[in-house]
A and B are shown apart, each in its own frame.
Chain A
Amino acid sequence: MRRIMSNNAIFNATVCIIGILILGIHVINLLVKKEKRKDEKLLQDFFLFTVLHFATYLTFIFLKLKGIGDAGIIAFYTVFYIMNNLEVFFLFRYAHIYIELEPKKAKAFSVLNVSVLVVFLVLDLVNIFTGIFFTASGGEYLRSSTMILSQGYQFVVLASIFILSATSKKLTGGEKTAFALYCVLPLVAIVLQNIFKGYAIGYASIIIAIEILFLFLNVKKNMILQQEEEKNKEAQIKIMLSQIQPHFVYNSLSSISTLIPIDPVKAQAALDNFTEYLRHNISSLTETRLISFEEELKHIESYVALEKMRFGDRVKVVYDIRTTDFYVPPLCIQPIVENAIKHGILKKLEGGCLTLRTYETADFFVVEVLDDGVGFCMEEIDFKGNRHFGINNIKYRLEKTCGGELTVLSEIDKGTQVTVRLRKKAN
């Protein structure tokens, strides 16, 4: 009897040490990582609780060898139960951020998660006095016949994760399998636990399950994000190439050349503007980070000056800049200005006026590009087609790089208003 006991203890202690080592490395890796995503922060909390759980259990194994009495056993197991429930709580928070539930669903499940957690935490404490889950006698831990109830929270959470991940449209097959495996493993462990009594198979299954989560999900997520970054870069290169329009380059250069004998001073200024315009376009090929709005404004000003040289009084621009204290992806606002001039103002015989306005509200930096050009019919335009590649490209990059949103409002013969809103928190 005594030999089997110590075998259990050795097995359980080994499982705990392996768990602490493996998960500890993950936790440290996540802790030192500087820019953490929300799902990584939650994963870190979840891992941290699991490590603490293992560590407490390990301490318990050694203390038990010396004998800690019935009260000690009850105290330790109560801590385990509470920790287990907290672990499950963080697991669910991680899963529901990872699965990217719709806001309404996410809120409903968060409320459910918190309320069921509270119920089970209370039950864990109630157990001390009533023994609904376990009791202790003669220095041994004894499960009650209703012990299975203590796993209720875990079942609710695992079942929710299983269903939510399986029905999610955003997850790939691999991710769904990883979540499904994670949910099924504890059940296998419970069955095995009944065969090998006294061995902490549940703990071993937690380690395997967590490794599945980490390797399949976290690594996969990192890969997806990396691909997304590459896609961003590509989108930027695409717009940069599309922005350097041969027509604009040739016409600007030939206009400057015509201007040289007529007004050399003006021609020189125009050439400077052209240089500035080109410099900004080309540097955005390599610069993928956000740039200050001031820099984007310089680009816009040089572009506008060139259009004024080409079209004279037909292009009027009012700058109403109330803030420049924010950042934008390169080539985001200038193409909007270009669109407004080319497709709005210059389509009118007498030309028109463009207003570039920036201001801040409590939560947002706002950039507005308004023109009184020909406008267009909102119903006839679908921004998904290739013809509106520019606006789609800007919208995509704004969303991906700084959580910005872009809205277009237009009315025939009245003009167009493009509004870019950048959340201050993300800036």
Chain B
Amino acid sequence: MKVLLVDDEQLQLLRLETAVKKVLPRDCEFFSFVNPVQAAESVAGQEIDLAFLDIEMPVLNGSSWPKS
């Protein structure tokens, strides 16, 4: 399972990662980013099963994220 985590606050991202890792199976693959544009570029073309996106971020925020 591929999990995407994006938050423009480094510490919030860390916190989110710790919390999510606790409840998800160990074999999950995590992609964490503070830069939403970088995140979108690097996961383009990959199948993401679960995404945690911050609502308020520059350029790309949680609600305007490309669905594909």
Residues on A lying within 8 angstroms of B by beta carbon are: 251, 254-255, 257-259, 262, 309-312, 314, 346-349
Those 9 A-B pairs whose CB atoms lie nearest each other, nearest first: A255-B11, A258-B11, A258-B15, A310-B9, A349-B58, A347-B58, A349-B59, A258-B14, A312-B10
Given A349-B35, A349-B37: A255 touches B12 (CB 8 Å cut-off): yes
Q: How far is it, in angstroms, between the C-alpha of A257 and the C-alpha of B11 when the chains are bound?
A: 9
Task: Pull 6 A–B residue pairs with CB atoms less than 8 Å apart, ordered by A.
Answer: A251-B9, A255-B9, A255-B12, A257-B15, A312-B34, A348-B59
Given the complex, which residues of A lie within 8 Å of B8, measured CB to CB? 311, 314, 346
Quick check: B10 and A254 within 8 Å, CB to CB? no
Q: How far is it, in angstroms, between the C-alpha of A349 and the C-alpha of B35 when the chains are bound?
A: 7
* Size of interface on B: residues with Cβ below 8 Å to A: 13
Given the complex, which residues of A lie within 8 Å of B35, measured CB to CB? 349
Q: How far is it, in angstroms, between the C-alpha of A258 and the C-alpha of B18 when the chains are bound?
A: 10
Chain B nearest CB: distance from A82 CB in Å?
73
Quick check: A346 and B58 within 8 Å, CB to CB? yes
Q: How far is it, in angstroms, between the C-alpha of A259 and the C-alpha of B14 when the chains are bound?
A: 9
Q: How far is it, in angstroms, between the C-alpha of A346 and the C-alpha of B37 when the chains are bound?
A: 14
Nearest chain-A residue to B59 (Cβ)? A349
Q: How far is it, in angstroms, between the C-alpha of A310 and the C-alpha of B36 when the chains are bound?
A: 16
Instruction: Name 18 extra pairs, CB < 8 A, besides A311-B9, A347-B59, A349-B35.
Output: A251-B12, A254-B12, A254-B15, A255-B9, A255-B11, A255-B15, A257-B15, A258-B12, A258-B14, A258-B15, A262-B14, A309-B11, A310-B10, A311-B8, A312-B34, A314-B8, A346-B8, A348-B58
Nearest chain-B residue to A347 (Cβ)? B58
Given the complex, which residues of B lie within 8 Å of A258, measured CB to CB? 11-12, 14-15
**Selected contact of B11 from candidates A259, A314, A347, A348, CB within 8 Å:** A259
Chain B nearest CB: distance from A133 CB in Å?
80
Quick check: A310 and B59 within 8 Å, CB to CB? no
Given the complex, which residues of A lie within 8 Å of B37, measured CB to CB? 349
Chain A nearest CB: distance from B57 CB in Å?
9
Given the complex, which residues of B lie within 8 Å of A257, measured CB to CB? 15
Query: Could you give, for residues 12-37 of chain B, a 1 whenever the CB lies within 8 Å of some chain A CB and a 0 otherwise?
Result: 10110000000000000000001111
Query: Could you give, for residues 31-50 of chain B, a 1 whenever the CB lies within 8 Å of some chain A CB and a 0 otherwise?
Result: 00011110000000000000
Q: How far is it, in angstroms, between the C-alpha of A259 and the C-alpha of B58 when the chains are bound?
A: 23
Given the complex, which residues of A lie within 8 Å of B34, measured CB to CB? 312
Q: How far is it, in angstroms, between the C-alpha of A259 and the C-alpha of B18 when the chains are bound?
A: 13
Q: How far is it, in angstroms, between the C-alpha of A114 and the C-alpha of B6 when the chains are bound?
A: 73
Nearest chain-A residue to B10 (Cβ)? A312
Q: Which of B8, B35, B58 has the most CB of A within 10 A?
A: B58
Q: How far is it, in angstroms, between the C-alpha of A309 and the C-alpha of B36 when the chains are bound?
A: 19
Chain A nearest CB: distance from B51 CB in Å?
19
Given the complex, which residues of A lie within 8 Å of B14, measured CB to CB? 258, 262
Q: How far is it, in angstroms, between the C-alpha of A257 and the C-alpha of B14 when the chains are bound?
A: 11
